[in-house]
Chain A
Amino acid sequence: MSTTAPTPSFDLNRDIGDFSYPESHKFDAGAGLSERTIDYICDVKGEDDWIRAFRKKALQVFLSKPLPTHWASRDLETINFDKIRYYLSSGQQPKRTWNEVPDDIKQTFERLGIPENERKFLAGVEAQFDSEAAYSNIKEAVGKQGVIFVGSTEGLMKHPEIFRKFFGKVIPTGDNKFSALNSAVFSGGSFIYVPPGVKVKHPLQAYFRINAENFGQFERTLIIADEGSEVTYMEGCTAPKFGTATLHSAVVELVALKGAKIEYITVQNWSANVFNLVTKRAMAEEEAVVKWIDCNIGSRLTMKYPGVVLKGRKARGEVLSIALANDGQHQDTGAKMIHAADETTSNIISKSISIGQGRSSYRGMVHIPKHLSGCKNNTECDALLINTNSRTDTYPAITVRGNRNSVQHEASVSKVSADQIFYMQQRGLSEAEAMSLSVNGFVNDLTRQFPMEYSVELKRLIDLEMEGSVG
Chain B
Amino acid sequence: MNTLDIRNLSVRVAGNEILKNFSLTIPKGEVHAIMGPNGTGKSTLAKALAGHEDYEITGGDVLLDGTSILELEPDERSRSGLFMAFQYPSEIPGVSIANFIRAALQARLAEGEELEATKYYKRLYEKMDLLSIDRKFTARSVNEGFSGGEKKRCEILQLAMLEPKYAILDETDSGLDIDALKVVAHGVNTLRSQNMGVLLITHYQRLLNYIVPDRVHVMYDGRIVKSGPKELALELEANGYEWVRDHATATA
Contacting residue for A426 out of B78, B103, B141, CB 8 A? B78
Q: A427-B158, A428-B75 are in contact. Are A420 and B90 (CB under 8 A)?
A: yes
Closest to B107 in A: A428
Q: How many angstroms between the C-alpha atoms of A97 and B96 in the bound complex?
A: 44
Give the CA-CA distance A443 to B158 in the complex, in Å: 24
Query: Quick one: given A420-B91, A440-B94, are A429 and B84 in contact (CB under 8 Å)?
Result: no
How far does the Cβ of B111 sit from chain A's closest Cβ, in whole Å? 12
**Chain A residues with CB below 8 A from B91, complex form:** 420
Given A423-B86, A437-B100, A429 contacting B92 (CB threshold 8 A): no
Q: Does A19 contact B (CB under 8 A)?
A: no
Q: Say yes or no: is B95 at the interface (Cβ < 8 Å to chain A).
A: yes
The verdict on A49 contacting chain B, using a C-beta distance below 8 Å, is no
CA–CA, A426 and B90, complex, Å: 11
Taken residue by residue from 135 to 151, chain B's Cβ proximity to chain A (1 for < 8 Å, 0 otherwise) reads as 00000010000000000
The size class of the interface chain B forms with chain A is 20 to 34
**Given the complex, which residues of A lie within 8 Å of B78, measured CB to CB?**
425-428
Q: Does A422 contact B (CB under 8 A)?
A: yes
For B83, list chain A residues within 8 Å (CB): 426
- Complex interface residues of chain B between 49 and 65 (CB less than 8 A to chain A): 50-53
Q: Is the CB–CB distance between A414 and B103 below 8 Å?
A: no
A430 to B76, alpha carbons, bound, how many Å? 8
Q: How far is the CA of A433 from the CA of B102 in the complex (A)?
A: 12
Q: Are B107's CB and A441's CB within 8 A?
A: no
In whole angstroms, what is the CA distance A419 to B142 when docked?
Answer: 14
A-B contact count (CB 8 A): 78
Q: How far is the CA of A293 from the CA of B73 in the complex (A)?
A: 39
Point out the residue from A430, A433, A437 that lies within 8 Å of B92, measured CB to CB.
A437
Contacts of A429 in B (CB 8 A): 75, 103-104, 107
Interface string of B78-119 (1 = CB under 8 A from A): 110001101001111111000011011001100000000000
Interface assignment of A18: CB less than 8 Å from any CB of chain B: no
Question: In the complex, what residue of chain B is closest to A439 when comparing beta carbons?
Answer: B94
Report yes or no: B75 in contact with A441, Cβ–Cβ below 8 A: no
Q: Mark A401-442, 1 if CB is under 8 A from B, else 0.
A: 000000000000010011110111111111101100110111
A444 touching B90, Cβ below 8 Å: no
Question: How distant is the Cα of A431 from the Cα of B75 in the complex, in angstroms?
Answer: 8
Alpha-carbon distance between A425 and B73 when the two chains are bound, in angstroms: 8
**Smallest CB–CB gap between A188 and chain B, Å?**
37
B95 adjacent to A440 (CB under 8 Å): yes
A445, B141: Cα distance in complex, Å: 11
Interface check B162, CB cutoff 8 A: yes
Q: Which residue on chain A has the smallest CB distance to residue B108?
A: A428
Smallest Cβ-Cβ distance to A414: which chain B residue: B93
- Contact at A425–B74, with CB atoms within 8 Å? yes
**In the complex, what's the smallest C-beta–C-beta distance from B74 to chain A, in angstroms?**
4
The smallest beta-carbon distance between A35 and chain B, in angstroms, is 53
Q: Which of B89, B92, B104, B141 contacts A428 (CB under 8 A)?
A: B104
User: Chain B contacts of A430 at CB under 8 A?
Assistant: 73, 75, 107
In whole angstroms, how far apart are the Cα atoms of A431 and B89 in the complex?
Answer: 17
A427/B104 in contact, CB under 8 A: yes
**Measured between C-beta atoms, what is the minimum distance from A469 to chain B in Å?**
17
Partner of B100, one of A417, A425, A427: A427
Chain B minimum-CB-distance residue to A441: B94
Residues of B within 8 A of A420 (CB): 90-92
Closest Cβ of chain B to A288, distance in Å, is: 31
Q: How many angstroms from the CA of A442 to the CA of B92 in the assembled complex?
A: 9
In-complex Cβ contact of B50 among A414, A419, A426 (8 A) = A426
Instruction: Name 18 A/B residue pairs within 8 A (Cβ), A-sorted.
Output: A418-B53, A420-B92, A422-B90, A424-B100, A425-B51, A425-B73, A426-B86, A427-B78, A427-B162, A429-B107, A430-B73, A431-B73, A434-B75, A437-B95, A437-B100, A440-B94, A441-B95, A443-B94
Binding site for A on B (CB under 8 A): 50-53, 73-75, 77-79, 83-84, 86, 89-95, 100-101, 103-104, 107-108, 141, 158, 162
Not counting A440-B95, A443-B94, a sample of 16 additional A-B residue pairs whose C-beta atoms are within 8 angstroms of each other reads A417-B90, A419-B90, A422-B52, A425-B73, A426-B83, A427-B162, A428-B75, A428-B78, A428-B79, A428-B162, A430-B107, A431-B73, A431-B75, A433-B107, A440-B94, A444-B94
